[in-house]
A = this chain, B = another copy of it.
Amino acid sequence: MIDVTPVLSRADQNLGLSLDRLFELLRIKSISTDPAYKADCRMAAEWLVAYLKTLGFEASVRDTPGHPMVVAHHADAGADAPHVLFYGHYDVQPVDPVELWENDPFEPAITDMGNGRKILTGRGTADDKGQLMTFVEACRAYKEVNGALPCRITILFEGEEESGSPSLKPFLEANAAELKADYALVCDTGMWDRETPAIAATLRGLVGEEVVVTAADRDLHSGLFGGAAANPIHVLTAALSGLHDETGRVALENFYEGVEETPANIRASWEKLGQTAESFLGQVGLSVPSGEKGRSVLELTWARPTAEVNGIWGGYTGEGFKTVIAAKASAKVSFRLVGKQDPAKIRETFRSYIRSKIPADCSVEFHPHGGSPAIHLAYDSPVITRAKSALSDEWPKPAVVIGMGGSIPIVGDFQTMLGMESLLVGFGLSDDRIHSPNEKYELASYHKGIRSWVRILDALAA
C-alpha cells in the first residue's frame, strides 16, 4: 500500500473538470431501447473510447448485433499486479414522461440544495454514467500523480443494460480470454444511506414459471355444472396455497437444499443498521413481515429464498358478475433463490408439486421464464475485507456488507462464463429516481465515489 493522500488530493483538484467530462457524456442521448437513438449510443461509446485513450488505455469500440461494447486495457501495473475487470453501462433509460422533468433530461445541471448538499440532475447521472465515471476519474487521478495505475485494469462498458443485454453473453463468450481477470468490479448499486457505504455480497437468484390449469373444454354455467365439474381456479388456488406452510416457509420438498444460515457477525451488522419491520414495511403501508417467522426483514429479503405468486387470472374479471366456471386458470410464480439452490431443481420440484395437485381429468402446462442461481461471495473474502476497509476510511460511517434481494444477471455471467467473482460497490441512493423523471446523483456520491475507488484500487493492489 502506498500513500494515497496525493492521489486523493488530485481527485479533489480535478473535481470541476471531471464534472465537465461527466456532463459531456450525460448530454449524449444514449437510450438503448429506442432505435431512434442508435447513433447516440455509438457516440457515447466513441466518447468513452476517446477519453480512455487519453488515460493510456488501449481502448476500442467493439461492434455487436446491437449497440457496441467498449473494451479497454491498461497493463502498465505489471504482470504481478492484480487484474480487475471494471463493468458499467453507458446506455440510459427512456425519459418519458418527459413533461414531468423539471429540467431537460439531457442538459445536466448542478443544484445547490442548501446545507452544503449539491446534486447532479439529468438522465444517467446515477444510472450509470455518473457511477462508471467515478472509476474512470479515479484512474485519471492515479495516472496523473503516479504515471501508472496500481492494478492491471480491463474496462467493459455495455450499451444494452437497459434493454435486456441481448449481446452480452455472446460477447463474453467470444472474448472470454480477453475479458477474464482476477475479479470484476461492478458499479451499478447503491449506498446503505448517505453516510454508510455498502458492498453487496449476495444477490438472490430467480426462477420464473407460468402455470396454466385446464379443466373443461369450454367455460361452463355454474348453475348447470357447479358442484360436479372441476373448477380450475379451485385447483390452482389450492395448489398455490400449499406453497407455504403456516410458519411462512416454502413447503416444496428439498426446497432449502443449498440454503445456508447467514453468519452471526453479518446478521449482527445488519441489526446495527436499525432497519425494523416497521421502518422497512412502513414505507409501503405494511407492518407485519409475511415470510419465515423469527427472521429480520433484511434477512428475509437479502438472505432467504421465497416463493411469490406475481400474477393470477381466470374466469370472469369484468364489471358485475357472471356465474361461470372457467375452462382455464393461470398464474405467474417466481422463486428468489439464495446460496447454492439449483434453479433447474427448484423448477422441477415446483412442477412435480403442482402436477401432484391436478385432478385426473384436468391438465397443466408450464412455461419457463428465466432461471439464474444466487450469487454468494464469501462475506469475509480478502477482496470484500479490503474494499470494506477502504470504503470505511472514506465515509462517515463504516461500510456494511449487505445482500440484495434482486438479481444482477451480469454478476452471474461473470461467474459462470469467466469464472470470476464480482465486487459490487456503488454510490447511488434509494431516492435517486433512477428510471424515473428527475433522476439525480449526489455530488457527494460522485466526488467521494471517485475517492472511494482510489482507496479501493490501492487496497486491492496491496
Contacts and interface: CB of A to CB of B under 8 A. Distances in A.
A230 B288 contact: yes
B406 A312 contact: no
The copy count of this chain in the complex is: 2
A280 B242 CA distance: 31
Contacts of A204: 223
B321 A289 contact: no
A274 interface: no
A300 interface: yes
A231 B250 CA distance: 14
Given A234-B244, A321-B334, A323-B334, A405 B310 contact: no
A325 B405 CA distance: 13
A218 B332 contact: no
A406 B234 contact: no
Given A206-B323, A231-B309, 9 more contacts: A224-B405, A225-B284, A228-B281, A228-B291, A229-B281, A238-B241, A286-B361, A312-B313, A317-B332
A316 interface: yes
A228 B284 CA distance: 12
B233 A312 contact: yes
Given A238-B241, A241-B237, A304-B227, A310 B323 contact: yes
Contacts of A334: 222, 226, 321, 323
Interface string A326-346: 100111101010000000000
A324 interface: yes
Interface in A315-373: 315-317, 320-326, 329-332, 334, 336, 359-362, 369-370
Interface stretch (A63-71, A179-187, A209-217, A260-268): A209-217
Contact of A317 (B243, B289, B311): B311
